[in-house]
Amino acid sequence: MLQYLFLYNNTFSGSIPPEIGNLKELLSLDLSANQLSGPLPPALWNLTNLQILNLFSNNINGKIPPEVGNLTMLQTLDLNTNQLHGELPQTISNITSLTSINLFGNNLSGSIPSDFGKYMPSLANASFSNNSFSGELPPELCRGLSLKQFTVNSNSFNGSLPTCLRNCSELSRVRLEKNRFTGNITDAFGVLPNLGFVALSDNQFIGEISPDWGECKNLTNLQMDGNRISGEIPAELGKLPQLRVLSLGSNDLAGRIPAELGNLSRLFMLNLSNNQLTGEVPQSLTSLESLESLDLSDNKLAGNISKELGSYEKLSSLDLSHNNLAGEIPFELGNLNSLRYLLDLSSNSLSGAIPQNFAKLSQLEILNVSHNHLSGRIPDSLSSMRSLSSFDFSYNELTGPIPTGSIFKNAPARSFVRNSGLCGEGEGLSQCPTTDSSKTSKVNKKVLIGVIVPVCGLLVIATIFAVLLCFRKTKLLDEETKIVNNGESFKSVIWERESKFTFGDIVKATDDFNEKYCIGRGGFGSVYKAALSTGQVVAVKKLNMSDSSDIPATNRQSFENEIKMLTEVRHRNIIKLYGFCSRRGCLYLVYEHVERGSLGKVLYGKEGEVELGWGRRVNTVRGVAHAIAYLHRDCSPPIVHRDISLNNILLETDFEPRLADFGTARLLNTGSSNWTAVAGSYGYMAPELAQTMRVTDKCDVYSFGVVALEVMMGRHPGDLLSSLPSIKPSLSSDPELFLKDVLDPRLEAPTGQAAEEVVFVVTVALACTQTKPEARPTMHFVARELSARTQAYLAEPLDSITISKLRSFQK
């Protein structure tokens, strides 16, 4: 007598056989995560003793028939992520024993039966997200007061929320965003002590934010943006000790920003943009030590920008644009070292100069100070902002030449317009004048004599000094050549234009690459640490030409051209390549040095347990994704790294990741065959490389997925990946492999927002490690998804999430 049939996580295809209806005593049927197709067989509804029916993550189509109501003993019904369509039958309400129903990720339409939930006293989980449902929610959805998780986001529901939600005290997660709900939000929710996640965004709610929200002490995420909510922000929101995300943007909120929000010590995202807020930015907001994103744009805020805003240590995005802020830009904003995505101060009434120390924002990608009253010059120091990809200085009163860096020379004219005093080599700018003849003709002869004589004297002294210096440099170079090459000169040298040292300096600093300066060895050569006399420290990778099949001697010129282009790569998460030298059959690649060392060293050392927590691990994965996406999409021609591994990712002192080692990187020219010898590190290479040896950007995607999994697991995911079949999810004969069992056991299990981020990283990593290259996402897609402000993939507790379920989320 068969009671339990578990066939999930395999590669079964075809239709569900009708003979399954003969298993009359079956209590639990799980066929999830296969390739099953076709409609639900009528015989399925003969299994009247069935308590659990899991058919999620297949290709099942057709409708859910009325006969589903025959399964009156059913407790769990999970049909998510299929191709079901049509309406939900009225008979679904007959299943009074139902505790969990998951129908998300289909194309179901119509309304949910009006009596759904009324006769289900134990209903704890209901998910109808990502369908085409419409109509109003059932009025007695929470009749049994057992509902814990309710998600209907991304549908077309309308009407007011059922009043029963106000008394549903067990609720822990509610997602109603991206619908057409209306009605007054003021009293829709009561004091719900277990509520942790609420998303009401992108609807048409009106009313005011109730002070009662301040009593939901477990709330970690409150999103109400994109509605028509009015009134003031209640000060009571400052009483939420666990709150991580507060998003109230794009409403009609007015009044001042409550100073009490400065009490939200765990807040990492605050979005109050596009409202009618007035007054000054509260000084108390600078107490939010965990804040990563602050958006107060499109309001009516006034006053000066506080210099205390420069004290944030984790802030990655700051948007104060489109307000009435005045005064000068505080010098202290240049201390926001973690600022990486955006600094937008545009459309205010700011005056004075652009601070010189904005150049310290070395990770910043977007800078906008347009539509203000700024004056003076654009600081030349901004040329050193290696990650800056977009800026706007337009509509100000700026004067003088623009900085000489390539990013300024190549910037579009719109970045500088309506600054009548700007000049230089940028598009749309006039050339800067070299002399002013009208004034020169009026200079007094005595003044000319008084100036010319000492200048000539200085020129004579300078000439003598230059000759001596040149002689001394020649002598030094001769000595270096004798020491290094026994009279031979370097065969080829390519150097980054802004470097302030030579390869000869490196040779001297390492005693001609003495073994005592070697700090590591890899498959393609050795790495040396060179401490230069200027105090700068660089890393030098020495490659033996005879060992590197990737750079044949006959193609050396092509390789050198590629290296020359690589020295122009600028990204905050990519190690800077200073240059290259060829000597004695060896290639030397010179990089900036990162003191903390490789991610592998840190992850598997004591730091991995003590200092590399979940937040830093997620940030590491995100940074690496951005670096690879930059190589693939923003470089022309695109660059495929080909050797992404833990040892080729370095960590700064603040644990910011830096992608390293272009020793095996190769430019991928569009349209070329790219057939080459296998390159990469064992355990990180895409499976197709062993067969085809064809290098594509999808090889990097696979390697990234392995790295991401390894960072989350604290060990190499080889055993996990080897048990995954080529197309559909599977792990092993173990019927239940939970995510919590593969995460790094040295750390406490993540909770709250951290848990959501970890789940999403693993989800993305599994998508990246699919066997078929064409099934993997692009790195641009991955980077964009990982940079989303909030992730919301936890539709159930972390302890109950399986690896197979995460694989069902793949796009």
pLDDT, one tens digit per residue, over 766-784 is 999 988 888 888 998 898 7
Residue 156: name the closest of 113, 84, 226, 107 by CA. Answer: 107
Q: Which helix (H) or strand (E) holds 707?
A: helix 697-713
Q: How many CB atoms neighbour CB 58 within 10 A?
A: 25
Please give the average per-residue pLDDT across 615-633, as a whole number: 91
Q: What is the pLDDT of residue 709?
A: 96
Residues 584 and 646 in one domain: no
Please tell me whether the overall predicted TM-score, pTM, comes out greater than 0.85 for this model.
no
Bigger pLDDT: 687 vs 172: 172
* Sheet order of strands, 421-423 included: 302-304, 324-328, 349-352, 373-376, 397-401, 421-423
312 assigned to some structural domain: no
pLDDT, one tens digit per residue, over 151-161 is 999 999 999 99
Distances (CA, A) of 63 to 18, 40, 81: 16, 8, 14
Residues 682 and 546 in one domain: no
Residues 555 and 569 in one domain: yes
Lowest mean pLDDT among 210-214, 246-250, 575-579, 734-738: 734-738
The parent domain of residue 58 ranges over 1-168
Please give the average per-residue pLDDT across 413-434, as a whole number: 85
Q: What is the pLDDT of residue 678?
A: 45
Residues 535 and 635 in one domain: no
Residues 584 and 609 in one domain: no
Question: In this model, does residue 657 exceed pLDDT 60?
Answer: yes
442 assigned to some structural domain: no
Question: In this model, does residue 141 exceed pLDDT 60?
Answer: yes
Q: What is the pLDDT of residue 556?
A: 59
228 assigned to some structural domain: no
66 assigned to some structural domain: yes
Q: Which residues are annotated as a binding site for ATP?
A: 542
Alpha helices in 288-413 (DSSP H): 406-409
Question: In this model, does residue 705 exceed pLDDT 60?
Answer: yes
Residues 509 and 645 in one domain: no
Q: What is the pLDDT of residue 467?
A: 47
Rounded to the nearest 10 degrees, the angle between the axes of helix 752-768 and helix 614-629 is 40
Is residue 643 annotated as a catalytic residue, yes or no?
Answer: yes
Question: In this model, does residue 547 exceed pLDDT 50?
Answer: no
Q: What is the pLDDT of residue 468?
A: 52
Pick from 592, 612, 645: which residue ends a domain?
592
Pick from 566, 592, 618: which residue ends a domain?
592
Residues 621 and 730 in one domain: yes
274 assigned to some structural domain: no
Q: What is the pLDDT of residue 623?
A: 92
Residue 145: name the closest of 127, 126, 116, 171 by CA. Answer: 171
Q: What is the pLDDT of residue 775?
A: 84
- Give dist(CA 244, CA 582) in Å, integer: 52
Residues 721 and 580 in one domain: no
151 assigned to some structural domain: yes
314 assigned to some structural domain: no
Please give the average per-residue pLDDT across 640-667, as a whole number: 79
* Sheet order of strands, 156-159 included: 13-14, 35-38, 59-62, 83-87, 107-110, 132-135, 156-159, 180-181
Question: In this model, does residue 353 exceed pLDDT 60?
Answer: yes
Residues 785 and 636 in one domain: yes
Task: Please enumerate in sequence order all residues whose Cβ is within 8 A of that of 537, keeping only pairs 6 or more positions apart, or say none.
Answer: 529, 530, 531, 593, 595
Question: Could you tell me the pLDDT band of residue 667, with boundaries at 50, 70 and 90?
Answer: very low
Q: Which two tokens stand for residue 56?
A: 């999620």
Please give the average per-residue pLDDT across 371-389, as a whole number: 91
Residues 670 and 534 in one domain: no
Task: Please enumerate in sequence order all residues whose Cβ is within 8 A of that of 620, keeping only pairs 6 or more positions apart, or say none.
Answer: 599, 612, 649, 651, 655, 657, 711
Question: In this model, does residue 715 exceed pLDDT 50?
Answer: yes
Lowest mean pLDDT among 220-234, 335-349, 450-464, 738-752: 450-464
Q: What is the pLDDT of residue 679?
A: 53
177, burial (CB in 10 Å: exposed 0-12, middle 13-18, buried 19+): buried
Residues 572 and 662 in one domain: no
Highest-pLDDT range among 312-321, 624-633, 746-755, 780-789: 312-321
Q: Taking every pair of C-alpha atoms in the chain, what is the biggest distance, in angstroms?
A: 116
Please give the average per-residue pLDDT across 419-434, as a whole number: 84
Question: In this model, does residue 646 exceed pLDDT 60?
Answer: yes
Q: Sign of the CA dihedral 194, 264, 369, 385? A: negative
The CATH number covering residue 103 comes to 3.80.10.10
**CA angle, corner 529, sides to 528 and 530, nearest 5?**
115
Residues 521 and 609 in one domain: no
Q: What is the 3-state secondary structure (H, E, C) of 387-424?
A: CCCEEECCCCEEEEECCCCHHHHCCCHHHCCCCCEEEC
Strand 173-175 relative to strand 197-199: parallel, antiparallel, unpaired? parallel
Pick from 592, 614, 640: which residue ends a domain?
592
Question: Could you tell me the pLDDT band of residue 496, with boundaries at 50, 70 and 90?
Answer: low
Q: How many CB atoms neighbour CB 677 within 10 A?
A: 12
Question: Could you tell me the pLDDT band of residue 557, with boundaries at 50, 70 and 90?
Answer: low
- Give dist(CA 703, CA 707) in Å, integer: 6
217 assigned to some structural domain: no
The CATH number covering residue 513 comes to 3.30.200.20
Lowest mean pLDDT among 302-306, 656-660, 806-810: 806-810
Q: What is the pLDDT of residue 227?
A: 94
Highest-pLDDT range among 97-101, 453-457, 470-474, 690-694: 97-101
pLDDT, one tens digit per residue, over 166-203 is 889 999 999 999 999 999 998 888 888 999 999 999 99
pLDDT, one tens digit per residue, over 224-283 is 999 999 999 999 999 999 999 999 999 999 999 999 999 999 998 999 999 999 999 999
DSSP codes, 547-597: G-TTS-GGGHHHHHHHHHHHTT---TTB--EEEEEEETTEEEEEEE--TT-
Residue 134: how many CA atoms within 13 Å on its side-chain side?
Answer: 4
Strand partners, 127: 102, 151
Question: In this model, does residue 36 exceed pLDDT 50?
Answer: yes
Point out the catalytic residue in the list 225, 643, 697, 700: 643
- Domains: count for the chain: 3
Q: What is the pLDDT of residue 122?
A: 95
Q: Which helix (H) or strand (E) holds 537?
A: strand 537-544
Question: Whose structure tokens read 């003495």?
Answer: 514
Q: Which residues are annotated as a binding site?
A: 542
Please give the average per-residue pLDDT across 597-611, as a whole number: 84
Please give the average per-residue pLDDT across 413-419, as a whole number: 89
- Is residue 89 reached through a cis peptide bond, with omega within 30 degrees of 0 on the bond before it? no
- Give dist(CA 186, CA 682) in Å, integer: 58
Residue 687: name the closest of 734, 652, 650, 726 by CA. Answer: 726
